[in-house]
Amino acid sequence: MANKVVHLPVLDFGATLRKDNWWIGPAITFVILMGFICYATFRAFENDYYRVGPYLSPFYSPLIPTAGWGIPFLSPAMLILPGPAGFRLTCYYYRKAYYRAFAMDPPACAVGEGGRHDNYNGETKLLIFQNLHRFALYVALGFLVILWHDVYKALWFRDPYGTEASFGVGVGTLVLALNTALLTGYTFSCHSLRHLIGGSVDSYSTAPFGQLRHALWRGVSRLNQNHMFFAWTSLFAVALADLYVRMVSLRVIQDVRIL
């Protein structure tokens, strides 16, 4: 038996006895979310290249005519993005992601925070707005209707003269449809939706429409198990859909008609 003696580490910031690379997860989250925020901000200020053929970027949908409002730098995206951004900001999954990656509160499980958070209040004071997630959900559901309408419009291609529209499917149609499908998955797997449609019921067997509400709750619960998957894939998809429209609009790439 050896007797080398070392002191138990104090829980300074980042101190841990974990031997895995616990910092990789928060670091990747930070890079991806910061990248998305930077790209979305750039696109909101760019105010161009958001529409080509039957395709409309999700960042600019619905297309609000802000040009005549006389406000410098105001773009439709600036009015639209706070809606989905609020939904993601208050999302129960993203809280885990950004509390760890940005606030480092905690940086990871069983990793020390040091004395940085003496005045920790969780979501009781400054962050109390997180409790309003269900209202952001209502907004997000409204956006889904608009985005599915955009997908429908992306199925109708006008002739070169712009007179007649014919049914068709382009790569852009599929990109927009994929984006909207993933956003639908993300929205319909929401914890607040799960609560609103049936989670608030204590006794399904005796509540009005109890059987139906239980069935709906169970369906959303199944989706809810994949909420993290939908959260990330829909984030990538919405950026990709916007980027695709921008690239086609700039003629960097050409949209290919499949049908």
Partner 1 sequence: MAAHPGSNGSKAKAAKLRVFRGTAAGGDFQNYEVETYPGMVVLDAIHDIQAKQSPDLAVRWNCKAGRCGSCSAEVNGKPRLMCMTRMSAYPEGEPITVTPMRAFPIIKDLVTDVSWNFEMAKKIPPFKPRPRDADGNWRMQQIDIDRIQEFRKCIECFLCQNVCHVVRDHQKKEVFSGPRFLIHLATLDMHPLDTLDRREMVKRDFGVGFCNITKCCTEVCPEHITITDNGIIPLKERIADDHYDPVRWLLRKVAGKPRAHKVPAQPTEAGKTADISGRHRVDGGNGKGELER
Segment interacting with partner 1, rule: CB under 8 A, options 66-74, 118-126, 158-166, 177-185 = 118-126
Contacts of residue 203, defined as CB under 8 A and 6 or more positions apart, other chains included, come to: 210
Among 42, 72, 73, 202, binds partner 1 (CB under 8 A): 202
2 binds partner 1 (CB under 8 A): yes
Kindly write out the interface string for residues 212-241 of this chain, putting x where it contacts partner 1 by CB under 8 A and - elsewhere: --x---x-----x--x--------------
Residue 77, judged by CB atoms within 10 A of its CB (0-12, 13-18, 19+), counts as buried
**Least distance in Å: CB of 40 to partner 1?**
24
The DSSP bridge pattern shows strands 156-158 and 55-56 to be: unpaired
62 cis-preceded (ω within 30 degrees of 0): yes
Could you say whether residue 171 binds partner 1 (CB under 8 A)?
Answer: no
The SS3 assignment for 253 reads coil
Interior CA angle at 37 toward 149 and 188, to 5°?
Answer: 40
Part of the chain binding partner 1 (CB under 8 A), chosen from 38-46, 81-89, 149-157, 201-209: 201-209
Task: Kindly give the interhelix angle for 133-153 and 82-89, rounded to the nearest 10 degrees.
Answer: 130
CB of 19 to partner 1, least distance (A): 5
Chosen residue from 206, 208, 251, 259 binding partner 1 by CB under 8 A: 206
Q: Convert residues 122-141 into a mask of x (bound to partner 1 by CB under 8 A) and - (unbound).
A: xxx--xx--xxxx-------
Nearest-angstrom CA–CA distance, 88 and 107: 20
Within 10 angstroms of residue 55's Cβ, the number of other Cβ atoms is 24
Whole-angstrom distance, CA of residue 220 vs CA of residue 199 = 10
Using rule CB under 8 A, residue 5 touches partner 1 = yes
Site for partner 1 in 78-107 (CB under 8 A): 92, 95-96, 99-100, 105-106
Interface residue list for partner 1 (CB under 8 A): 1-8, 11, 16-19, 92, 95-96, 99-100, 105-106, 109-110, 112-113, 117, 120-124, 127-128, 131-134, 191-192, 194-195, 199-200, 202-206, 210-211, 214, 218, 224, 227
